[in-house]
Structure formats: structure tokens, C-alpha cells
Structure 1
Amino acid sequence: MTKLDDYLAAATRENTRRSYQSAIRHFEVEWGGFLPATADSIARYLVDYAESLAINTLRQRLAAIAQWHVEQGFPDPTKAPVVRKALKGIQTLHPTQEQQAKPLQIDHLAQVVDWLDQAIGLAKSRQDLAMELRHTRDKALLLLGFWRGFRGDELVRLQVEYVELEPEQGMRCFLPQSKGDRQLQGKTYKVPALSLLCPVTAYTDWITVAGLTNGAVFRGIDRWGHVRETGLHINSLIKLMRSLFAQADLSAPEGFSSHSLRRGFAGWANANGWDVKTLMEYVGWKDVKSAMRYIDGADPFARQRIERSLPSLPSQSP
């Protein structure tokens, strides 16, 4: 692999590159398509999976096929009218409701952290280094993810050398690349030190007990208490969180995902008077639509507002 290949690969986020490779493999191997493809073959491909794949998944497959053609110097067949009409027809006949992650409320967060603190104390008393490490890591992951509104992929890509601690104030987390950063300029996120549920203290405890000085912040831990050199895989994050929430006795842990931290913080900030502009700047959203997808109003069904406007009914005599 040449340096040019290295730079070309670095121009695309790893998650995107991996998902596009999977989409191309699905089109060629599982469906039996040929590349370069014709518009008719792509339309037939969409039709064959119209009932089994979500519309967003089909769009992602089209994006991957389009990128392959552009990179190889071929015309993009996904722009053809027959493909666009097929996709629109599928969306009309097979409408799907967008599934959103269950938000992790502040009381949920406190409950899980309390359970983790007890588990850490028990692990120390038993001299169980593996469990102490695992619970200390999970506490830092949850608190940092919640108070910074990080996505799962941002948490797993965080590097120790890009975190700067400022005593009694907070810390700065630099991400060289993240979703929406098309100019690849990177962004620094400030994390506050708090009197309760403090993400900075939790982070410091984790890197201290794990002895981390560089590399991925959040890593796997084997049964003997060895901290792995590589970071957690994004696909393992949901399983880790749901297992943790189940142990902490949260109801319906299967409803949570890695987006639950981001949604939970957005809901908490909204309920505590943050305006949308401030929230967007803090979390890093570029447009209002993205922000509003994460915010649940204090009165989502407008029940309280309507009840206040209802006329008083006269009392009925017996």
C-alpha cells in the first residue's frame, strides 16, 4: 500500500468506509450484481430488498454504489430516473416510522453511577482487578458520554493524548475528525468538572487505574485484568451499555443504545432552560433539524397545555 493509498483511505471516515465496503459486498456477492452496474439492475436490486430492508438502509446502499462508480471513473447509475422512482415507490408502499433511542434520564444516570460505585468498592475489597477496571471504565464512559453529548463513535475514537486536564475547571477533548466535519479541521470539546456525577473525576480515575498515557481512552479488558492496546469497537458499545443498565436494574434496558446518552443530555438541557442555539453549539449540531430530533418537550403530547385551556365544567347536583 503506497502513501497515496494511505491518504486516500484517510479521507473517508472508517465507519463510512466499512459500511460502504459491506454494501458493495452485499450487492455483488449476496445479490449477484455486477459492477459497473446499470440503472435497471440497481432498480431491480432495490425492489428485491424493498420489503426486508429499511429505506435508510437502501439509501446507504445506493450511496456506496454511487461512490464506487465515481471513484472508478464511471457514470453514476444511481441518479437515473428509474432508480429514483423505484426508491420513491418503495418509500410510498413501505413507510417506516423512525426508531429513536430511549433517552438516558438524569435519574437513570445517577442510579447506574451509584451501582457502579458500589461495584467498584466491592471489586477493590475482593482484589478483583478486572472488575475494578471494567466498572471504572464504564463509569467514565457514561459520564463523559452524557455530559458531552458524545455519539458512540466519538467515545470509542477518543485518544488520551488529545485530552487536556485543567485542574478544578474541566478538561478539553480534541477529536481530529467527526461526523459533519467535512473540512477535517477537528474540534475541541470542553468538559466541565462537576460537584456531582463528575465526568472529569471519572475520567481521571479510569486512566490512573488503567495506567494509560496514550492511545484509545476506552478499551476492552480481559478476564485477568489486562487492558487491551486497541479501543472498544463501536459495535460492542450497545451490548456493553445494555448489559450495564440491566445490572443496575434499569427497566427495559433493551430500549437504550449509544445514542441514549446524547438524547438524554439534550432532554436534560432543554428541560433546564438551554435555548436551542446554545445546545447546538455545545453538542456540535449544524442545523436545527438535527437538534430537534434529540429533544423531547417537557409536555410531548401537549396535554398540560390543553388541560389548562379547558373550560371549567359546572358541578352536577345529585
Structure 2
Amino acid sequence: MSKLDQYIEAATRDSTRQSYRAAIEHFEVQWKGMLPATADGVARYLAEYADTLAVSTLRQRLAALAQWHNEQGFPDPTKAPIVRQAMRGIRALHPAQEKQARPLQLDELERVVGALDRAVGAARLGNDRAGELRNLRDKSLILLGFWRGFRSDELCRLRVEHVEAKAGEGISCFLGRTKGDRQNLGTTFKAPALTRLCPVDAYLDWIGAAQLTTGDVYRPIDRWGHVGEHGLHIDSIAPLLRALLGNGGLDGAKAYSGHSLRRGFANWAASNGWDVKSLMEYVGWRDVKSALKYLDASVSFAKDRMEHSMAGRLHELERS
């Protein structure tokens, strides 16, 4: 691979590249489609899987096909009228409510962290090095993920040399690439030290016990207590979180995903009076619509807005 190819590849997120590769393989191998494709072929592909795949998945498949054709220098068949009409018809006949991760509530976070603390204590008493490290790692991951509203891929890409943490003060995390940073300029995320459920103390405890000075922050740990050289894979975050929630005694752990930490923080912040602008600045949202989807998940936030609106209306009526 040439240096130019390396830079071009780096411009696309790993998760996007993998999902696009899987989409092309599905079109060619499973459906037996031919590339380059015709507009009629793409439309028939959509019709074939309209009953079994979500509309969002079909849109992702179209994006992958469009990218493949553009990269290979072929006309993009996904822009043809027949493909657009097929997608409109599929959306009309197969409407689906967008599924969103269940937000992790603060009391649920507290229960999980309590279980992890007890597990750390038991591991130390039993001289279980692997158990101690694993529970310290998980505690740091869930607390930092919640209080910073990190996505799964962002947690996986955190590096020790790009994190500065000071007990009693706060933590600063630099990420060279985030979903909202289209120009890859890099973003620094900060969080304060807290009197309880502190992400700073949890991070320092983890890297201290694991003796990490460089490289990925969150890594696999084998049964002998050896810390891996590379970071956790993004696909491991959701199962890990569900296991933590189940061990913490929470019902319905399967309803949570890696995005539950981000949604949970947004829910908590909205319920505690954060306005949209403040939340967008803290989390790093550039799009108001994205932020509002998180805020609208908070019933208490909606209630506050409704009560405020009705109070204002009552005040107007009293003055008239």
C-alpha cells in the first residue's frame, strides 16, 4: 500500500470501512449480484431484502454500493430514479420506528459500580490478579464513558499518552478523530473529578494497577492477568456493558448497548437543567437534531419544558 493509499484509507473510520466491505460482500456473494451494478439490479436487490432488512440497513447498503462505484470510476447506479422510487416505496410499506439504545440511569450506574467495587475487593482477597484488573478496567470504562458521553469507538481509541488525569481535579482526553470532527482536527474532552462515581480516580486506579504508560487505555485481559498489547474491539463494548449490567442486578440487560452510556449522560444532564447549547458543547454535537433526539428521550426534560410553557401561558392570561 502506497503512502497515498494509507492516507486515503485513514480518512474513513474503521467501522464504516468494515460495514461497507460487508455490504459489498452481501451484494456479490449472498445475492449473487454483479459489479459494476445496473440501476435495475440495485432496485431488485432492495426489493429482495425489503422484508428482512431495516430501512436504515438498506440505506447503508446503498451508500456502500455508491462508494464502490465512485472509487472504481463507474457511474453510480444508486442515484437512478428507479432506485430512489424503490426506496420511497419500501419506506411507505415498511415503516419502522427508529430503535434507540436504552439510556443508563444514574442509580443504575451506581449499582453497577458498587458491584464492581465489591468484585475488586473479593479478587484482592483471593489473590485473583485477572479479576482485579478486569473489574478495575470495567469500572473506569463505564464511568468515563458515562460522564464524558463517549461512543464505543471513542473508548476503544483512547490512548494513555493522550490522557491527562489528576486526582481531585479532572481528566482531559484527546481524540484525533471523532464522528462529528469531519476534518479530523482532533478534539479534547474534559471531565471533572467527582466526590463519588469519579471517572478520574477510576482511570488512575486502572492504569496504575495495569502499569500502563503508553498505548490503548482499555485492553483485553487473559485469565492469567496478562494485559493485552492492543485495545478492545468496538464490537466487544456492547456485550461487555450488558454483562456488567447483568452482574449489577439490572433487569433487561439486553436492551442496553454501547450507546447507552452516551444516552444515559444526556438523559441525566437534561433532567438536571442543562440546556441544549451547554450539552452540545460538552458532548461535542455539531447538529442540533442529534442533540434533541437525546434530550427528547428524557421524560422529565419534556415535562419541565411543558410545565414552563404552561406557566408562561398562565402568566399571560393573568396579565390580560
The interval holding the TM-score normalised by the smaller chain is over 0.9
- Partner deviation per Cα, 1:190-213 (whole Å, 9 max, x = no partner): 121111110010000000111111
- 2:273 is the alignment partner of 1:273: yes
Report the CA distance between 1:284 and its aligned residue: 0.7
How far did 1:71 drift?
0.9
3-state SS of 1:229 partner: coil
Distance 1:57 1:301, change over 3 A: farther
Percent identical residues: 61
Match of 1:312 in 2: none
In the other structure, the counterpart of 1:225 is 225
Q: Deviations over 1:93-135 (max 9, x none)?
A: 0111111111110000111111111110010000000000110
Counterpart CA distance in 1 for 2:187 and 2:65 is 30
Give the equivalent residue in structure 2 for 1:242: 242
1:215 deviation in Å? Answer: 1.1
Runs of 4 or more above 2 Å deviation:
165-168, 299-302
Q: TM-score, normalised by structure 1?
A: 0.93
Secondary structure of the 1:189 match is strand
Classify the secondary structure of the residue corresponding to 1:242.
helix
Question: How many residue pairs are counted as aligned between the two chains?
Answer: 308
Q: 1:251: how far off?
A: 1.5
State the Cα distance separating 1:76 from its structure 2 match: 1.0
Measure, in 2, the Cα distance between the counterparts of 1:200 and 1:222.
Answer: 25
What stretches of structure 1 of length at least 5 have no aligned partner?
A: 310-318
- TM score, norm. by length of structure 2: 0.93
Aligned positions of 1:140-151 closer than 5 A: 140-151=140-151
Separation in 2, partners of 1:222, 1:169: 33
How far apart in 2 are the matches of 1:288 and 1:10? 27
Task: Give 2:33's aligned residue.
Answer: 33
Q: Residue type matched to 1:231 in 2? A: G
Render the CA deviation track for 1:138-177: whole Å, top value 9, x for unaligned.
Answer: 0000000000001111111111111122453211100000
Distance in 1, matches of 2:178 and 2:122, equals 37
Q: Distance in 2 between matches of 1:111 and 1:166?
A: 25
Residue equivalent to 1:314: none
Structure 2 portions without partners, runs of 5+:
312-320
Separation in 2, partners of 1:41, 1:246:
45
Contact 2:167 2:200 in 1 (8 A): no
Contact preservation (8 Å) 2:46, 2:58: yes
Q: How does 1:186-265 map to 2 (within 5 A)?
A: 186-265=186-265
Partner of 2:289: 289
Cα shift at 1:289: 1.0
**Distance (Å, rounded) in 1 between the aligned partners of 2:166 and 2:117:** 24
The whole-number CA distance in structure 1 between the counterparts of 2:85 and 2:102 is: 34
Structure 1 match to 2:315: none
Q: Which residue of 2 aligns with 1:8?
A: 8
How far 1:299 sits from its partner (Å)?
6.4
RMSD: 1.8
2:128: which partner in 1? Answer: 128
The structure carrying a bigger helix percent of its residues is 2
